[in-house]
Amino acid sequence: MDTIDRLRDEIARTGLLTAPQADDGFVFGTARMRATGTDVNVNVDPEIDDRSDVDTRALLAAVERVLTITDARWERIVDSVAEEIEEAVGDQSVSEATDLRDDLALRSVVVFHDAVLLSFAAPKQFPDSWIRVQLDEDLGVEGVAVDEKDDDEKDDDVEVVEFESLDGLLDHLSSADDR
């Protein structure tokens, strides 16, 4: 039995993920995120190509830690994400007055040995983008990025405008204000 199958079997034994499956070098399934009260997709990536050893216990502990995050810690993460994006956008006008904190909806979690990646949808303020957040080992926000959704994730009747960077997006928004 190879490493990824052993990891899948261990995750199944613990019950952390519902119906875990192994494919393409990682294990995936769904799980209830306590702080959000929702089910999310969870990918566990042991980074087999980059590591000579897979620490199954550390990966399982990281999955459990993120799924059982406290409400207070979750609120700090969401506040940090919203603040970083608000600082990047500055005084740019947005078409939707909804607070980003209320618009963020966790969709998936990726767990690595030394980091966790969160993917949020923000359908009112960023309907064509994912908000990606990297957490460090202590579940503190290490980085935030706004990534455009793939073509198959978008509505077909929505105009697509591509930007090579966040600065490009900000330039576009500021030129829209001048119209």
Q: Are 6 and 18 in contact (CB under 8 A)?
A: no
Q: Are 131 and 119 in contact (CB under 8 A)?
A: yes
Residue 100 has pLDDT above 60, yes or no: yes
Number of domains in the chain: 1
- Return the pLDDT at 157: 42
Euclidean distance between CA atoms 39 and 158, whole angstroms: 28
- Domain span holding position 44: 1-179
Lowest mean pLDDT among 118-122, 157-161, 162-166: 157-161
pTM: 0.78
E-assigned strand segments in 45-115 = 105-111
Q: Which residues contact 82 (CB under 8 A, 6 or more apart)?
A: 99, 100, 101, 104
Euclidean distance between CA atoms 169 and 89, whole angstroms: 9
